[in-house]
Amino acid sequence: MSANENITSSGPTTLVHAMQILQVTARGGYRGASVDDYLNALSFSRPTLYRLLKGLKQQGFLRSSPIRGRYLLGYELLVLGAQAGNGAGLRDLARPRLLTLAQRWGDSFYLFARDGVNAVCLEVQNGAYPVGSFVRATGDVCR
């Protein structure tokens, strides 16, 4: 799925472009994304790209990769994700109960939240003898 397919152009253009940049960056994984990656995936100009990269970096949503000329997702996204994943305090309420279950039964216990047709893992508590795993980490999406 291309960044253009995931976010429609119904919103403000700058916001749409910024979200597309974040999606391309995420697809780059641990290597991050290069300017060429963005230009190949997106349909806006180089000056617009540089302006948005600079702004996203200043806000903490992007950071420079150790690999020269590449960008990684910024840590500010983790802050926002942690807040999103604890809407109405659900994670705080569920964590002690999941931990109790994991300790008692020795298996892994998960807290999922529905997000459209997907489910996002909000919390994982592993017991001493976990049998298997639906997800690798908090924040993974089950499709």
Q: pLDDT tens digits for 17-35?
A: 999 999 999 999 999 999 9
Q: Point out which residues pair with 113 in neighbouring strands.
A: 120
Considering the segment(s) 3-74 as one domain, its CATH architecture is Orthogonal Bundle (1.10)
- Alpha-carbon distance of 92 to 84, in angstroms, equals 12
pTM of the model: 0.68
pLDDT value at position 1? 43
CB 3 within 8 A of CB 39: no
* Domain chopping of the chain, boundaries: 3-74, 85-142
> What residues form DSSP beta bridges with 118?
115
Query: Closest by alpha carbon to 140, among 110, 97, 116?
Result: 110
